[in-house]
């Protein structure tokens, strides 16, 4: 894989961990395993998120540590849900530039995954040698439903949270070197979806994409969502797919759910 730094992102509950499991099987490193966030019943195979990266992104977004003292950790979660302004994030980023540079160097031969990159991508691209950005796409009905079950978020708040991440990401994406991956198609066993990513990242060796998907995907972990989805999230989804279609014009549309 050489020395490429790959950032994997997408809204929370969008299948980023599944994608990272596939990349790991293809030989991509995620750094020191001891530094990765442990799995739980929601992600039994692990989250593939490096705690130092998640913690720095949390401090960029909220000014608070994600892995500090228990009260600060709780406050960081509350502050995250309050959706801080982009100007506040940018001001904190200037103060934390050196730490972005240090972690960028530490993970320069790895993939790093964090949904919070939707909000901090521009700073990592500016101060670290990012070679590829991989964005996971999953229909917001499923995402909002999963957040309601996982985090007890009301659907209206989950939908706003989804749109906040998507619109922030759209304002930071580079004109090239972005790989969009439709997680709904991966779950359905669409080997061509994984083939396209492997080609873009130069990961041709190893098992076939069909074999990998058969081994790794557990459909029971990926519901299609229930209870409808607020308009704010659906509109953001359409904007995200419009950008994905611009950068991968051969792909089919997002469907009509």
Residue 139: both structure tokens together: 């229909």
| 152-183 pLDDT, tens digit each | 999 999 999 999 999 999 999 987 779 999 99
DSSP state of 36: B
| 205-257 pLDDT, tens digit each | 889 999 999 999 987 777 777 667 999 999 999 999 999 998 876 665 554 34
pLDDT for residue 256: 39
pLDDT for residue 75: 97
pLDDT for residue 205: 87
Mean per-residue pLDDT for 186-194? 96
Q: Please, which pLDDT band fits residue 29 given cuts at 50, 70 and 90?
A: very high
β 130-137/111-113 pair status: unpaired
pLDDT for residue 20: 97
Domains, the chain? 5-50+107-247 (3.40.50.300)
Nearest to 54 by CA among 137, 136, 115, 145: 115
pLDDT for residue 17: 95
DSSP state of 70: H
pLDDT for residue 204: 87
Q: Are 124 and 117 in contact (CB under 8 A)?
A: yes
Q: Residue for token digits 């308009």?
A: 231
- In this structure, is the dihedral angle defined by the CA atoms of residues 30, 34, 38 and 39, taken in order, positive or negative? positive
Mean per-residue pLDDT for 136-141? 95
**How far apart are alpha carbons 242 and 118 in whole angstroms?**
17
**How far apart are alpha carbons 233 and 202 in whole angstroms?**
33
Mean per-residue pLDDT for 59-87? 96
């Amino acid at each position: 894989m050489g020395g490429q730094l790959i950032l994997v992102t997408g809204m929370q509950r969008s299948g980023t961990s599944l994608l990272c499991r596939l990349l790991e099987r293809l030989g991509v490193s995620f750094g020191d395993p001891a530094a990765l966030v442990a799995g739980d019943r929601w992600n039994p195979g692990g989250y593939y998120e490096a705690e130092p990266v998640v913690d720095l992104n949390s401090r960029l977004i909220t000014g608070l540590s994600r892995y500090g003292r228990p009260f600060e950790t709780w406050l960081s979660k509350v502050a995250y849900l309050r959706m801080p302004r982009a100007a506040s994030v940018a001001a904190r980023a200037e103060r934390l530039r050196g730490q972005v540079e240090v972690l960028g160097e530490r993970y320069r031969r790895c993939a790093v995954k964090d949904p919070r990159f939707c909000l901090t991508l521009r700073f990592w691209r500016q101060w670290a040698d990012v070679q590829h950005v991989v964005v996971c796409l999953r229909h917001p009905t499923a995402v909002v439903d999963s957040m309601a079950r996982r985090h007890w978020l009301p659907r209206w708040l989950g939908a706003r949270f989804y749109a906040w991440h998507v619109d922030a990401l759209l304002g930071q994406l580079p004109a090239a070197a972005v790989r969009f991956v439709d997680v709904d198609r991966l779950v359905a066993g669409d080997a061509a979806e994984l083939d396209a990513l492997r080609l873009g990242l130069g990961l041709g060796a190893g098992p076939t994409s069909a074999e990998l998907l058969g081994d790794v995907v557990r459909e029971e972990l990926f519901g299609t969502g229930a209870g409808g989805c607020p308009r704010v999230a659906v509109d953001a989804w359409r904007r995200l797919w419009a950008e994905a279609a611009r950068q991968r014009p051969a792909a089919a549309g997002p469907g009509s759910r």
